[in-house]
Amino acid sequence: MRHYEHLYIYEIEGEVDESLIASPDYIGCWNEGESSFLFFHSDQRSLVDRVISGARTLRLVDAYDMPYEEWQGGTLTPFRVGPLWFRPPYRKETTPEGCRDVPFDPGVVFGTGLHPTTYDCLHLLVDFFKVNIPETVLDLGTGTGILAVSAALLGTKRVLAVDINRLSVSTARRNVRLNGLDEVIEVVEGDALEMIEREADLTLMNIHYSVLDAITNREAFYRKKSVILSGVLRSDYYTLLRKLQKRRRLVRERRTGHWFTAWFEA
């Protein structure tokens, strides 16, 4: 398992054909709108220039190099939420008594547990499993797969983890394998607005407010029995709360700084 130390990131206007990236130091591509972000372990400017010169639709916007911790917003250190002990896979440390060891590699995808939305989702997930163990879980916007892996380790029998970004999908699949959960978790590339139609006992959504707003306008959302959602700042949260409380019951919420996370029941 290769440890990330320094990242070389190339922001490109246009969609890059990844089959053209021939480098052992290539990490992956993050697509954001009309832009592609290529990640490497080493300086690959000459390779990137060759790829761009061979495609008329591509343009280099900028190039960055930074410590891995700066990209992820902090140093990855082991942490505990309920019975789960999360640690980078390259760190071998003693697991606290009564905890399940959870090796976890976020790569360059967001969802390390450092951000308040992820951390608070994990706490509400643990709270949920104390009173109810769902048979099936739907994780929309899975990112690194941290919530899907947690749900599986807490006892659910089947998890469908969805993300629209290919790099997130490959990262989540790696974390599923790291924890030996291939038989429990299926990770697929897909649109949350379409996948909300899938049936599940518990639905997790730690995604951008604009997506949450669109999903909560769908009738399929209100057919969900239990929902934990996050990714919203205070003003957006109260707007969302006013809408949801007309048809859903707020069970519990967590607030860290300006971020809100909430658990709703039908």
Low-confidence ranges of the chain (pLDDT < 50): none
Under 8 Å between Cβ of 47 and 23: yes
How far apart CA 33 and CA 163 sit, in angstroms, is 14
State both tokens at 57: 């639709």
Give me the DSSP letters along the chain: -PPP-EEEEEEEES---GGG---TTEEEEEEETTEEEEEESS--HHHHHHHHHT-TT-EEEEEEEEEHHHHHTS----EEETTEEEE-TT---PPPTT-EEEE---TTSS-SS-SHHHHHHHHHHHHHHHH---SEEEEET-TTSHHHHHHHHHT-SEEEEEES-HHHHHHHHHHHHHTT-TTTEEEEE--HHHHTTS--SEEEEE--HHHHHHHTTSHHHHT-SEEEEEEEEHHHHHHHHHHHTTT-EEEEEEEETTEEEEEEE-
> pLDDT, tens digit, for every residue of 143-186?
999 999 999 999 999 999 999 999 999 999 999 999 999 999 99
Q: Which domains does the chain have, with CATH numbers?
A: 6-72 (3.30.70), 79-265 (3.40.50.150)
- Please report the pLDDT score of residue 212 as a whole number: 96
Q: Say if pTM beats, i.e. exceeds, 0.85.
A: yes
- Please report the pLDDT score of residue 53 as a whole number: 93
- Please report the pLDDT score of residue 65 as a whole number: 96
> pLDDT, tens digit, for every residue of 95-111?
999 999 999 999 999 88
How far apart CA 174 and CA 188 sit, in angstroms, is 13
- Please report the pLDDT score of residue 1 as a whole number: 53
